[in-house]
Structures are given as structure tokens and as C-alpha cells.
Structure 1
Amino acid sequence: MSADAEKRLEELEQGSSSSDAWAFYDSLPAASLEQMIGAWRGSGVPTGHVFDGMLEEFGWHGKRFETTEIAHPLVFEKPDGSLFYLNPARLPMGMVLDHVDLARSSASASFFRLSSGMLATKDPQARLRMIEYRGVVTASMVYDALPIIDVFRAVGPDTLIGAMDMRGFEQPFLFALRREASPAPLDA
């Protein structure tokens, strides 16, 4: 099933209806906590969500999980190509949600990338837990400072699909994660 699921995910990453993406998500098995450990490259699964393409525009690279207690939910790329852990508590989420068009602008993305030093952290900003979601107990990442839980399903041993369940949104944002065999170093 893994090869077929991988192919289907690639199709969905080209854009799909939310009902097709959710049917795929719901067809997949749970992800285990052990499977989560590692460095992951992320990409959005466009379904018409307000966040579609926004993270990539801002330089989102992916996620890293060192242990169940040490999770880095947002790994971003600086203008020079180096990577850093972003502190989600420093994001003006209220302003982003109130002014989505401004947040989606290239000027906002440029400002964000230039501000990376002020947004960076070395500390973990989330934890992994098993949580029931849509009828399945699966590996999930709970943010420390924001009302967000990322809930994962296994596409294959090295590929996941995640649902960013955030308070205030009717539908979660869907994204894919692929394990990095040779993770890029982080900016020290």
C-alpha cells in the first residue's frame, strides 16, 4: 500500500478538494511516536485553506523531533539558506489571521525572512503525544505556546501527512512530511 499511498499523496500535493484530501487522510494508518523521531522536510497539501502556500513562501523547511519531549515544530530557512528553529510564540498569529492578504504578500515574506534572528530559538517548542483524532489514536505534536495540535498519519515509513488543527479554523491545514536522510545543519 505504501507505494500507492505515496503516489496518491504526490497527486494531492498538486491541489485537491478538501473532501478528497480528507478521504485519503482517513484511509491511512496511525503514525507511531517512534516513527516521528528525525528530521522532516515539509510541503503543503493545497485544499483551498487560507494557509495554502503561505508557509513555503515564508521559507518553511519542515519539522524536527529529537525525542517525544524535544520537538521543533517549525524549521525555517534564512535568506542565506541556513536553517533555524522558529519560536511560534513570537509569531503575531492574531494579526496574520486578521490580515491574511497582507500576510500572504511578498513584502511580508521578505520581512519575515529578514527578521529570522528575532524569531529564532534553540529551545524545543512542542511535544509528541498519542491523541485520538478522527477516530484514530495517532502520533501528534502539541505546541507549547499556541492552540495548535499537528496530527499525523503514516503514508509510509518515511512519509507522513499531517493535519494542523488550530483553534479558530473550521478546517485544519494539511501538509506532507518526508524524512530527510541527511538533515541540513542548523544555524548555530
Structure 2
Amino acid sequence: MTTATDATARLAALEPTCALDEALALFDSLPAVRAEDITGRWHGRELGTGHPMDGLLEASGWYGKQFDSVDEVHPLVFRAPSGKLVTVDPRRIPFGLLPRIPEGVVARGRQVMGLSLPALTTRKHRARLRNVEYRGVVTAGMSYDHLPIIDLFRRVDDRTLLGCMDLRDAPPYFFVLEKD
């Protein structure tokens, strides 16, 4: 089992980008986390592995996730151009188009997202947490209400989680969450 100090150092060595197999190896070495233990707001950042979504969330102003309870989760929190944090309805984001978005649009993501935010925001919770088995370990998983996506979490240290987005027909997408 990896200690928190070792895990933090291993994650730091992989950031900001690494090979997919390195991210999977780190994820698999980390301890599980219970769904009920991760409530609160978490600030996120991407761990690039060559996934088609790499760079897109951060460029668009993605802030992180907010777990109000196991049944009330805001899966996508963004920082609006005003600086205010807003919650976004994931089903309003065209995930199927993400791999085909030109790099120039990704680079202007924050501006594009800023203009789109009023049409994307919601006050309703759009996901929930459950303890699920993934890669042989029962750990916290966030199930989106309307999309075939589950985000799985492992504990890096007391304030840091490594997340792995499991999206049907796509390689895993990795991100890091730090507790606010």
C-alpha cells in the first residue's frame, strides 16, 4: 500500500502530463475512498495523458466538483468570467463532439465557455455518489444522472483525490481534486 507522502510525491512527479499507463498504475496503487467521506467542494485540475479532452476543462474555466451529500452532487463547477462559481448541467455539454473540437477553440475555451455559461448553468444536482467496484477495488464513484459517465476516486492524501472518468467507448480521463 502506498503511503500518503509517497502518493503525493508520485502524483507530483507525473504532473502535468504522463503516459496513460503511468496514471493507471498510480490510480491502482492508491487506497479507496468512501463516498460519504468526500462531501464538500473540490478544486480540480487535469492530469494529461493524451486523452482527447486534455486541456479542454481547464481552458474553459472548470473549477471542480461539489459533493453536497451522496445523493446531491454538482458534477461540474465552473468559474464565470465575473469570478463567481456556477454549477453546470453536464447533459448540455456535447461530450460526443469534444474529441473533434479544433485546438484553436480549445485555446479560446474560457471565452467560449464564458459566453455559453448562462445556457449551461443549473441549480439542480446532476449526479450522485455511490461506492462501486472499479479495477477490482470498491471506491467512491460519481454517477452522472443523464450521461453514460462514472467518475471514480482514489485517495492521494487527506486533501487530494485522483479522479478517473470512465466514459463509454473512450480511454480513461484523469483529473486531480483538492478539497477547498
Specify which of 55, 58, 63 is matched with residue 56 of structure 1: 58
Query: 1:8 & 1:140 partners in 2: Cα distance?
Result: 22
Match of 1:186 in 2: none
1:42 aligned counterpart, secondary structure: strand
Deviation of the 1:109 alpha carbon: 4.0
3-state SS in 2 of match to 1:66: strand
Q: Distance in 2 between matches of 1:103 and 1:131?
A: 38
Query: Hey, what's the Cα distance between the residues in 2 that align with 1:47 and 1:104?
Result: 20
- In structure 2, the residue matched to 1:184 is none
Task: Specify the alignment match of 1:183 in structure 2.
Answer: none
TM-score of the aligned structures, taking structure 1 as reference length: 0.89
Q: Distance in 1 between matches of 2:106 and 2:21?
A: 28
Runs of 4 or more above 4 Å deviation: none
Root-mean-square deviation over aligned CA pairs:
1.4
In 1, the alpha carbon distance for the partners of 2:155 and 2:108 equals 36
2:29 aligns with 27
Q: Give the counterpart letter for 2:97 in structure 1.
A: M
1:177 aligned residue = 177
**Contact 2:87/2:122 (CA < 8 Å) preserved in 1?**
yes
- Report the counterpart of residue 169 of structure 2 in structure 1: 168
Contact kept in structure 2, 1:78 and 1:114, CA below 8 Å = no
The Cα shift of 1:168 comes to 2.0
Deviation at 1:51, TM superposition (A): 1.1
Matches within 5 A, 1:79-158: 79-97=81-99, 99-101=100-102, 104-158=105-159
Alignment counterpart, residue 7 of structure 1, candidates 2, 6, 9 = 9
Partner SS state of residue 73, structure 1: strand
Q: Deviations over 1:79-104 (max 9, x none)?
A: 1111100001111222334x232684
CA distance in structure 2 between the partners assigned to 1:108 and 1:56 by the alignment = 8
Give CA deviations for 1:36-86 in whole Å, capped at 9, x if unaligned: 111100001111111111100000000000100000110001111111000
Residues 108 and 39 of structure 1, relative CA distance in 2, 3 Å threshold: closer
- For 2:70 and 2:104, the matched residues in 1 are separated by 32
CA distance, structure 2, for counterparts of residue 51 and residue 96 of structure 1: 6
Structure 2: stretches of 5+ with no match in the other structure: none
Report if aligned partners of 1:44, 1:52 keep a CA contact under 8 Å in 2.
Answer: yes
SS in 1 for 2:102: helix
Count how many residue pairs are aligned between Structure 1 and Structure 2: 178
Task: Answer whether contact 2:59 2:108 (CA < 8 A) is retained.
Answer: no
CA deviations on 1:111-152 (whole Å, 9 max, x unpaired) are 221111110000000000011000000000000011100011
Gaps of 5+ in 1: 181-188
Distance 1:167 1:173 in 2: 11
